[in-house]
A and B are shown apart, each in its own frame.
Chain A
């Protein structure tokens, strides 16, 4: 039962239903057409609705503002706040700040990449995790630090890393 429920959940998050797409259309209507000045607010709005900037949403924005998809992507990819793949069920953020770096967080990141098979900025194919690196989580005394969803995991080692990830399915 559990697996079925979770797979339904996956599809829901992976392919936003028509409702969300309609949401984008409705959101776009609140911005004037052909005015590229509103591009960043629009992108923020789309990301808050879908969780990411999808090619389909980009196409809609392009049609609304009458600018090309490439230009939209160029702007969006400049800012780290925008992501281009659907978020996973759990988001893993690994800190690469100075304190964590000194404690070997880049080894952790490598181990994590090998373990779940994705690079920072990507989402696992089964939608379980998405991975990102952050500069500091504000608890340098606990370095190296990893954050999964809203939980902070401190003093991570390669072995502890696997145990932590097993808690999130």
Chain B
């Protein structure tokens, strides 16, 4: 990691392959060479893990140094004379590689027809297991293939040992074929030393050594969290995603940010034509993969290319879906919505949508429809939540995910980070391993407890009592210890959210920034969407609305509260939806709620249209369009603009839907950086009021809040995911 190298370190000069190279003290030879653009082969090294020196392929020759030190473990020194590619070294490396390959099917590597085969695919494909190049999922991006080319290896003197281990396919998301494994140990190390899932280990010894789990348990039984980090780092094809296996080699890769949960992790998506092949490092750059979780790694492709995806507008004619053109659909909507403008109309958006879409949607509701009923689904029980969080960040500085590593003590309150925010969980585990104090309090014990110094369990729905006790204790403390509180679902989505948040904000303000708060927002863009005005009481930029509208719960709570709803995504079916006069659903799939919809529009997601989001740290992140998507899909912004035009009202924006207003993104940036100085919260009494129902938060909430995209339940779409979550 570059950031671990201190900037004050001394600068040294050394010569690598007769090139003078400048580098900082403490760097390894491999690192220095990579920075200087000199390639040294390596199979076990990963930038994100401690140096290992296992494969011995990175051996180099250093003048006046005995033997051949490994570049990945030897620190560089002043005046070193290093050669990376002498005949002697190449011969040694060839021998090592030959030994490595004696247990790896290598026909693909040294085949005489290799060139023609790649070009014309003339060989027959008749075998089910990987014995050569034909069925290897890594064919073309294999690091071994590169090495063979680099070392000009044309023959392997050892007999083939095919281990004949049956491939493991009972895993929902990836396949394991240990016949291809070269035991480099990358997957074991990333699983144990970076993700702390501790599922993979080297088992047995000598010839029988394997990467595996205890007593041949399945990955799931062994506690696998399906983060997919092992697949990202595997240099061979022994670990491969099921999703993109038969799509072929990707032809382009793009960087974007994940919008499933509020963290907004960076990710690379490999695509081929209109299809996502996989989410993972760009081919040939496995050294420092982005760490993701199950959702980011495996779900996008499954979701976007789902066979049930609706790609044409539909009109409901007496319970039957009629496929129509966009013009026809928009005409029907315009005609009906004209009758329901004003307070009769409500719009429910999604917190997974981009800022651009959210902005246009609220503009449509407020300007075109003259209604204030605009909200996100699922709504927070406390509409001003995001504004309060924003004010807190504005007055005491943004809290970032990496603050978890720098705080002295970490309180995890009512969060199931293992599944809901896996990267936060990862930071918590790192902090625990670094000897920090980690205190967990939740109503359900999760695996986070294993990485905590203390665990307190409170009854379901009693989080406020714990919180009250905790805040009053902390308020008395006068130590200099920096505390970070990670505030999870059970606090934010409780019926007493307002009291809870005020209580915490009060503590944070009084502690003079000694106690800092990180709020775990469930959806990718709840912050950004609220900032863009998707809120019944807040206008864009968190300005208070003069006319207050109904929130989602109120729109759906009282039948006949409103008569028309435009919905982005999905909602649970309630009596209010059945009683609507007119109901438009703009979604990716037909859902139970679609039964009551009059018009169904096919949705282009942010994966297909791009945009921006604001993550839970309050930073603005770009989303890029990954795949073009089907022709008939439209973004929510494009659809409402069409509706406005068909109604004969003013257009909401001209030009592309991904950039509806040139002022919008600069405005968002400004709001995020400026930070309005407003006294935070603490006006209400932190005393708990006893009015809430007990037992609201269970495993179901986890699914409801975290395993959905635009309201669509992911476990329903991807049955494998449901299998993993059964616990």
> With the chains together, A84 CA to B199 CA distance in Å?
19
Give B541 Cβ to nearest chain A Cβ, in Å.
47
Q: Please, which residues of chain B bring their CB within 8 A of the CB of A73?
A: 201, 203, 213-215
Q: Is the CB of A72 within 8 A of B214?
A: yes
Q: Which residues of A contact B217 (CB under 8 A)?
A: 69
B203 touches A68 (CB 8 A): no
* Residues of chain B lying within 8 A (CB to CB) of residue A126: none
Q: Nearest chain B CB to A37's CB is how many angstroms away?
A: 16
A84 to B214, CA, bound (A): 10
**Inside 8 A of A55's CB, which chain B residues have their CB?**
214-215
Contacts of A58 in B (CB 8 A): 214-215
Given contacts A70-B214, A71-B198, contact A77 B204 (CB under 8 A): yes
- Chain B residues 568-585 with CB under 8 Å of chain A are none
Q: Does B374 contact A (CB under 8 A)?
A: no
B205 within 8 A of A: yes
Q: Which of B615-641 contact A (CB under 8 A)?
A: none
Bound-state Cα–Cα, A20 to B202, Å: 29
Contact B204 A70 (CB under 8 A): no
Q: A73-B203, A77-B203 are in contact. Are A67 and B214 (CB under 8 A)?
A: no
Chain A, Cβ-Cβ closest to B201: A74
Please indicate which of the listed interface residues B197, B215, B222 has the most CB atoms of chain A within 10 Å of its own CB. Answer: B215
Set B205, B222, B450: member contacting A70, Cβ < 8 A: B222
Nearest A residue to B200, CB-CB: A70
Kindly count the residue-residue contacts between A and B in the assembled complex, taking CB atoms under 8 Å apart: 50
CA distance A98 to B214 in the complex (A): 33
Contacts of A67 in B (CB 8 A): 198
- Shortest Cβ gap from A132 to chain B (Å): 15
Residues of A within 8 A of B200 (CB): 70
Q: Is the CB of B215 within 8 A of A66?
A: no
Q: Are B204 and A78 in contact (CB under 8 A)?
A: yes
Interface of B (DSSP majority class): loop
Other-chain residue from A66, A69, A72, A78 in contact with B205 (beta carbon distance below 8 A) = A78
Residues of B within 8 A of A71 (CB): 192, 198, 201
Complex formed: what's the CA distance from A70 to B214 in Å?
Answer: 4
In Å, the complex CA distance between A69 and B197 comes to: 11
Over the window 60-83 of chain A, the binary record of Cβ atoms lying under 8 Å from chain B Cβ atoms (1 yes, 0 no) is 000000111111111001111000
Answer whether residue B75 sits at the interface, using C-beta atoms and an 8 A cutoff: no
Residue B699 interfacial (CB < 8 Å): no
Proximity bits, B312-348, A CB within 8 Å = 1, else 0: 0000000000000000000000000000000000000
Q: What is the CB-to-nearest-CB distance from A139 to chain B, in angstroms, rounded to a whole number?
A: 27
Give the distance to chain B from A46, nearest Cβ to Cβ, in Å. 14
Residues of A within 8 A of B202 (CB): 74, 78
* B222 in complex: contacting residue of A66, A69, A78, A80, CB < 8 Å: A69
Instruction: Among A66, A69, A79, point to the contact of B450 (Cβ < 8 A).
Output: A66
CA distance A80 to B213 in the complex (A): 18
Q: Min CB distance, B60 to chain A, in Å?
A: 31
Q: Are A74 and B223 in contact, CB atoms less than 8 angstroms apart?
A: no
Bound Cα distance A71, B214 (Å): 8
Taking CB atoms and an 8 Å cut-off, the chain B residues in 439-455 that contact chain A are: 450
Residue of A58, A73, A79, A84 with most chain B CB atoms under a 10 A cut-off: A73
* Cross-interface CB contact of B203 among A66, A74, A80, cutoff 8 Å: A74
With both beta carbons as reference points, the residue of chain A lying nearest to B197 in the complex is identified as: A68
A79: which B residues are within 8 A, CB to CB? 205
- The CA-CA distance from A70 to B203 in the complex, in Å, is 8
Would B222 and A77 count as touching, CB distance under 8 A?
Answer: no
| B interface, size bucket | 10 to 19
Main SS of chain A's interface residues? helix
Contacts A58-B215, A73-B215, A84-B215 known; A68 to B204 CB distance under 8 Å? no
* A77 proximity list for chain B (CB < 8 A): 203-205
What are the residues of chain A within 8 A of B222 when measuring CB–CB?
68-70
* Max count, chain B CB within 10 A of own CB: residue among A66, A69, A70: A70
Nearest A-chain residue to B217, judged by Cβ = A69
0 or 1 for each of B489-508: is its CB under 8 Å from A? (1 = yes): 00000000000000000000
Q: How far is the CB of B667 from chain A (nearest CB, A)?
A: 49
**Residues from chain A with Cβ under 8 Å of B450 in the complex:** 66
Taken together as a complex, chains A and B put the C-alpha atoms of A70 and B199 apart, in Å, by 6
Q: Tell me which residues across on chain A come within 8 A of B204, comparing CB atoms.
A: 77-78
With A74-B203, A78-B204 known to touch, is A68 a contact of B215 (CB < 8 Å)?
no
A72 to B217, CA, bound (A): 13
Complex Cα distance, B212 from A70, in Å, reads: 8
Whether A68 lies near B223 (C-beta < 8 A) is yes
Q: Which of chain A's residues have a CB closer than 8 A to the CB of B199?
A: 68, 70
Within A100-123, the residues touching B (CB, 8 Å) are: none
Most buried by A among B202, B222, B223: B202
Output the residue of B192, B214, B215, B223 with the most chain A CB within 10 A. Answer: B214
Taken together as a complex, chains A and B put the C-alpha atoms of A58 and B223 apart, in Å, by 14
CB closest residue in chain A, given B206: A78
| Bound-state Cα–Cα, A81 to B204, Å | 12
Cβ–Cβ < 8 Å partners of A74 in chain B: 201-203, 214
User: Bound state CA distance, A74 and B222, in angstroms?
Assistant: 13
Nearest opposing residue in chain A for B202, CB measure: A74
Chain B CB within 10 Å — which of A66, A78, A80 has the most? A78
CA distance A58 to B222 in the complex (A): 12
Chain A residue with the shortest CB-CB distance to B204: A77
Chain A residue numbers with a CB within 8 Å of B212 are 70
Complex Cα gap A71–B202 (Å): 8
Shortest CB distance B437–A (Å) = 14
Q: A73 vs B188: C-alpha distance in the bound complex, in angstroms?
A: 14
Whole-angstrom distance between the Cβ of A76 and the nearest chain B Cβ: 9
Instruction: Report how far A66 CA is from B199 CA in the complex, Å.
Output: 13
Question: Whole-angstrom distance between the alpha carbons of A77 and B210 in the complex?
Answer: 11
Cα(A93)–Cα(B304), bound, Å = 59
CA A69 to CA B217, docked complex, whole Å: 10
**Chain B 210-230 residues near chain A, CB threshold 8 A:** 212-215, 217, 222-223
**B192 contact set on A, CB distance < 8 A:** 71
Question: B214 contacts which of A66, A69, A78 (Cβ < 8 Å)?
Answer: A69
Q: How far is the CB of B397 from chain A (nearest CB, A)?
A: 34
Min Cβ gap A96→B in Å is: 15
* Residues from chain A with Cβ under 8 Å of B213 in the complex: 69-70, 73
- Report the Cα distance A126→B213, complex, angstroms: 27
Please report the C-alpha to C-alpha distance between residue A136 and residue B96 in the assembled complex, in whole angstroms.
33
Q: Complex Cα distance A66/B450, Å? A: 7
A58 to B205 CA separation, bound complex (whole angstroms): 19
Q: For residue B451, which residue of chain A has the nearest CB?
A: A66
CA distance A67 to B451 in the complex (A): 10
Complex CA gap A93/B199 in Å reads 34
CA distance A146 to B622 in the complex (A): 72
List residues of chain B with CB within 8 A of the CB of A84.
215
Q: List 30 A-B contacts (CB under 8 A).
A: A55-B214, A55-B215, A58-B214, A58-B215, A66-B450, A68-B199, A68-B201, A69-B213, A69-B214, A69-B222, A69-B223, A70-B198, A70-B201, A70-B203, A70-B212, A70-B213, A71-B198, A71-B201, A72-B214, A73-B214, A74-B201, A74-B203, A74-B214, A77-B203, A77-B204, A77-B205, A78-B202, A79-B205, A80-B205, A84-B215
A69-B213, A73-B201, A73-B213 are known; give 8 further A-B pairs, CB within 8 A: A68-B198, A68-B223, A69-B214, A69-B215, A73-B203, A74-B201, A77-B203, A79-B205
The 5 lowest CB-CB distance pairs between A and B, nearest first, are: A74-B201, A68-B198, A73-B214, A69-B214, A70-B201
